[in-house]
Amino acid sequence: MVRLDDPLERFLDLLVEAERAGIEDPNAMVVSSVSADGQPSSRVVLLKSADPRGFVFYTNLESRKGIEIQANPRVALNFHWRQLRRQVVILGVASPVDDAEADEYFASRPRGSQLGAWASRQSRPLENRAHLVAEVARLEAHYLGRPIPRPPHWSGFRVTPHWIEFWTAGAFRLHDRIAYRREGDRWLGVRLNP
């Protein structure tokens, strides 16, 4: 094993490169979690921040992913920027963000998204779309002229990584892969076969 550059800085550089390339939702990532019976599931969410403490996203805590992550906080994140021929895989442990951080982010969201967080019983059966639209209208009237507070069932997770792998497509499938593993307070990197 050899010590390489800081993988977080490398990730942030790639994220900026994806933004500059005009990729739609460059912060889109696949989050994979596992149910109590061992069934993996994946979905696309948006990364909201990344710093030395980890990678943050927000969700309904009563959704399938919210329930699964609270029961088993080991998750995988995957960023794939096809146009750049790049991918980043992150393995780590998710923990809840604190209430102040969740409140601050919720307050920054568009009002329609705030209403949607209250109206949607995410991952549960929906009788019909008209019911959801009516619930949004009811909540809009209820909060007319007032700030919308963060629902108690809506918050964020910070994924503290222990593995970050960078993949770059290569000719004839001879891809370039560098993986970083956290050991204490430092990262050790190794080049992997494609």
What does R_g of the chain's alpha carbons equal in angstroms?
19
The closest of 55, 82, 75, 15 to 156, measured between CA atoms, is: 55
In the numeric block, which tokens belong to residue 150? 């963060």
129 is catalytic: no
| Distance (Å, whole) CA 58 – CA 46 | 8
| Distance of alpha carbon 11 from alpha carbon 7, whole angstroms | 6
Amino acid 3 reads R
Residue 41 to residue 30: CA distance in whole angstroms: 10
* 36 burial via Cβ count (<10 Å: 0-12, 13-18, 19+): exposed
Ranges of H-type helices in the chain: 7-20, 64-71, 99-108, 111-119, 129-142
Q: Of the residues 173, 177, 186, 191, which is catalytic?
A: 173
Q: Please list the active-site residues.
A: 173
